[in-house]
Amino acid sequence: MWIIKHRTIFYIFSAILIVASFVSLAIWGLQVGVDFKGGTVIEMTYPAGRPDKAMVESKIAETAQAISLGNYILRPIGDKDYSIKSRQVNESERQQLQAAFSNAGASAELKKINSIGPVIGGEATKKAVVSVILVILCIVLFITFAFRKVSKPVASWKFGLMAIVALAHDVIIPIGAFSILGHYFGYEVDTLFVTALLVILGFSIHDTIVVYDRIRENLKISDMEKDKKEFVTIVGESVRQTFVRSINTSMSTILALVALYFLGAEATRHFSLALIIGIAVGTYSSIFIASALLVTIQKFQDKKTA
Amino acid sequence: MAIMFKRRFWAFILIVLAAAVGYFVYSTNVKDSKYNFKLGLDLNGGTELIYQADTKDVVGGDVTSAMETLRDVIERRVNVFGVSEPVIQVESGERLLVELPGVTNIDEAVKMIGLTPSLEFKLLKKEFENATSSDVMAGKKNDELFDSTGLTGRLLEKSSVEFSGTTGDTAVALQFNSDGAKLFAEITKNNIGRHLAIFLDGDIKSMPVIREEIKGGKASISGGFTGSAGLKEAKTLVNNLNLGALPVPIELISTQTVGASLGNEAVKASMHAGLWAFLIIGIFLIVWYRLPGVLAVIALAIYTAINLALFKLIPVTMTAAGIAGFILSMGMAVDANILIFERTKEELKRGRELGDAIKEGFARAWLSIRDSNISSLITATILFFFSSTPMVKGFALVFGMGVLVSMFSAITATRTLLLAMKHDGAGKVMRFLFSSGISK
């Protein structure tokens, strides 16, 4: 089947995306939100229209100096809003900063504030890492268990392993994307982003299982028939049979997410973007990479024993 | 024929029930309904504060009850200011979470809670007994000078304003509860001649010498409340003490505030997005799958109604992430249906008759549905227990529920509807209606 036949092309494509992600991470890193780093983010809105940018910047700079704010990031958002991110500030410092916004020429209203202490930030980071590792672990165990009866020509644990490779691929690329988006547009990595990653993991496995399921079924059928088909043919057929269904499921989920991205609340906008990227990549990996990897492993095994 | 009638009857019942559920969801959107949606802070507007309690001085290691008292004290205070439906709960790690819906002025909120006074009685250490001149004391910290006694505001029963008859000065009378009285008696009995300092919010208010054992748990803070200003101060102090003195000192470690207008926007936008998501998915399903697609849309509508009803009945606090989770689950709920349809199509291609094709489609698809939904459930469960914010917890709960309900709705609703559609004729029209998309 053409997808399996040309698997090298798809391997190369994925490799390019992954390398690009790593490069971006190495050069630009990620914009880590206060959820993990600790600090304060204040978002203000100017209902009557935003005053001159230079004015706002100088007023904030003045106040920042007065309260020894240290490093801060001041950023205009959309048409009417401004946000400032800095170390954690106490009540009086916060009031001064808010006042500075209002003194820049137009009155400003508070939209939202997030003030996280370093202890909570550190905990959140730990929890995020642990939960990602746990999810990956559980998924490996689950797949190994679900496919335990398949042992030839590829052992069941290898199914699990290849699924993990596909998963890693599905997680690295959205992170790389957010590294680029973070550098150019200030997109941050916060607890919602980690949540998105976990959902992507769950969804991608969901998709991969359907293909692997089909391969398993076809293997069984082929075993019972007189002329046993080659593994690569079986895999090819399985991919062809499940192709439409994979695309359609992802399609409906992505459609829902697109609606969320364009029409939904601001707070979940980046979240839905991360999900869209992740699910698109996840579907791609389930169809073009996950099964092809099984064939590659089998051919590799054959070469070793030959 | 009888079977067909039974099937169509059940399909009809299903739709009626779903419509009833849908009506319930719709009609309880009125303001005062008990079953209104519970909105989280980021949709309602409001403030969330997290306090860290310093329990190192809790005598006897009874941290749990100290945290409970702290919770009660703060709750009483919050209630005085009439915040509707506040959430105050003890969290692990000796923390207190305070959620104040509708309160967007953090300063007020923090002040409200900050007004709670911290009352402590401490004994001046023996080595400093004779060095009470302020020069010596000034340079040293309280910890070095004083021993904790365990007698704190936690054991206070009530306080009142009293007037010292001769000077006309105001004093604050303290009455400890029975445990407090016992402890007070013990302290005074064993430490006659020593100075007992009364700390209010970390400042020494007075430091009388213990002359005798005091039973009955009565004490008074005098001096420093002179004149009418003093009277006012005493009254405020008594008020605050009676509403509850903090059993342990607390520090604000995190705050989150969402303005009301941002909250409103979020609600409107989320509803909008949800509606459009449903529409887009519906159109896609009908265009691609034709008749089964229509059934899938009905099943999706049933799914939505059930979920929303569950959110109202449990109740689940909806956050922006929670709504995102629901929309996401709508997209994924369709998946089970698609699996069934694709399998059915395959069986049809194999030449099976429509009714059998449907049955086979279900049987084979179920394993796939079960396996692939388990992975989503794993994610939702881990997220739920490891989440550090209510935002994420809300998402995990909604997402997990969505997956479970979607399995149910595919297996029962879609199945019932599909079976009801079986037509004895396997004619071209029916096959067209059941085949799909652009493929052959």
Over residues B124-163, the pLDDT tens digits come to 777 766 655 554 555 556 666 777 777 777 777 788 888 7
Query: What's the Cα-to-Cα distance from A175 to each of A28, A179, B378, rounded to whole Å?
Result: 12, 6, 22
Q: Which of A83, A206, A207, A212 to mutate to test the interface with B (most CBs of B within 10 A)?
A: A206
pLDDT by residue (tens digit) across A183-223?
888 788 888 888 888 888 888 887 888 888 888 888 888 87
The region of weakest confidence among A222-231, B29-38, B94-103, B179-188 is B29-38
pLDDT tens-digit map of A62-111: 888 888 888 888 887 777 888 888 888 877 788 888 888 888 778 888 88
Smallest CA–CA distance, residue B388 to chain A, in Å, is 6
Phi and psi of A50, rounded to 5°?
-80, 135
Task: Name every chain A residue with its beta carbon within 8 A of the beta carbon of B277.
Answer: 255-256, 259-260
Joined together, the tokens standing for residue A227 give: 């002329």
B439 pLDDT band (50/70/90 cuts)?
very low
Would the CB atoms of A117 and B395 count as touching at under 8 Å? no
Averaged pLDDT of chain B? 77
**Residue B1 pLDDT exceeds 70:** no
Owner of token pair 């629901």: B326
pLDDT recorded at residue B137: 56
If one compares B115 and B405, the residue with the highest pLDDT of the two is B405
A191 contacts chain B (CB < 8 A): yes
pTM, two decimal places = 0.77
Is-contact A41 A113, C-beta < 8 A? Answer: yes
Q: Chain B partners of A258 at a C-beta cutoff of 8 Å?
A: 280
State whether residue B220 sits within 8 Å of chain A by CB. no
Q: What is the pLDDT of residues A19-33, one digit of tens each?
A: 999 998 898 888 888
Of A63, A103, A113, A54, which is closest to residue A83 (Cα–Cα)? Answer: A113
User: pLDDT confidence of B168, banded at 50, 70, 90?
Assistant: low
Contact A125, A189 (CB under 8 A): no
B280 near A CB under 8 A = yes
Q: Environment class of residue B168 by beta-carbon count within 10 Å: exposed (0-12), middle (13-18) or buried (19+)? A: exposed
- With vertex at residue A127, the alpha carbon angle to CA A122 and CA A128, rounded to the nearest 5 degrees, is 100
Task: Give residue A20's pLDDT.
Answer: 92
Which 298-317 residues of chain B touch chain A by CB within 8 A? none
Residue numbers in A near B253 (CB within 8 A): 117, 119-120
- ipTM value, please give it: 0.81
Cα B320 to Cα A38, A183, B45, B324, B326, distances in angstroms: 22, 26, 12, 6, 10
Alpha helix segments (H runs only) across B142-259: 142-145, 178-190, 227-243
Strands B38-39 and B317-318: parallel
First-to-last alpha carbon distance for chain A, in angstroms, is 25
Q: Which of A40, A195, A214, A262 has the highest number of chain B CBs within 10 A, making it the mutation to test binding with B?
A: A195
* Residues B321, A192: C-beta atoms closer than 8 Å: yes
Does B439 contact chain A (CB < 8 Å)?
A: yes
CA distance A195 to A224: 44
Phi then psi for A147, rounded to 5 degrees?
A: -110, 25
Residue percentage of chain B with pLDDT more than 70:
85
Q: Look at A109 and B259 and tell me if their CB atoms are within 8 Å.
A: yes
Distance from CA of A301 to the nearest CA of B (A): 28
Which chain B residues contact residue A123 at CB under 8 A? 388
Please give the pLDDT value at position A274: 93
Average pLDDT over residues B302-307: 88
Tens digits of residue pLDDT in B65-81 = 778 878 888 887 777 77
3-state secondary structure of B305: helix
- Say if A125 is an interface residue toward chain B (CB within 8 Å): no
Strand-pairing partners, residue A85, are: A41, A73
Chain B contacts of A266, Cβ < 8 Å?
A: 262, 265-266, 269
Q: What angle, 0 to 180 degrees and rounded to 10, lies between the N-to-C axes of helices A118-146 and B354-386?
A: 150
Alpha-carbon distance B247 to nearest alpha carbon in chain A (angstroms): 23
Q: Residue B440 has what pLDDT? A: 33
Whether B322 shows a pLDDT value over 70: the answer reads yes
Give the helix/strand (H/E) hosting A27.
helix A7-28
Q: Which residues of chain A are within 8 Å of residue B374 when distances are taken between CB atoms?
A: 142
List the single residue in A with minimal CA-CA distance to B272: A263
Predicted pLDDT at B165: 65
Task: State the number of CA atoms in the 13 A half-sphere of B66 facing the CB.
Answer: 23
Q: Looking at residues B81-102, what average pLDDT do you find?
A: 81
Angstroms from A302 CA to nearest CA on chain B: 30
User: Does the pLDDT value for residue B425 go beyond 60?
Assistant: no
The DSSP result for B98-132, as a single string, is EEEET---HHHHHHHHHTS-BEEEEEEPGGGTT--
Which domains does chain B possess? 2-41+259-434 (1.20.1640.10), 46-255 (3.30.1360.200)
Is residue A39 classed as helix, strand or coil in its secondary structure? strand
Q: What are the pLDDT digits (tens) for B196-212? A: 887 777 777 777 777 77
- Can you give the pLDDT at residue A290? 85
Chain-chain contact of B256 with A255 (C-beta, under 8 angstroms): no
Distance between CA B393 and CA B319 in Å, rounded?
9
Residue B388 to residue A124, Cβ atoms within 8 A = yes
Set out the domains of chain A in order of their start, with CATH numbers. 2-33+120-305 (1.20.1640.10), 39-116 (3.30.70.3400)
User: What is the least distance, in Å, from the CA of A191 to any CA of chain B?
Assistant: 8
Residue B202, Cβ density class (10 Å: 0-12 exposed, 13-18 middle, ≥19 buried): exposed
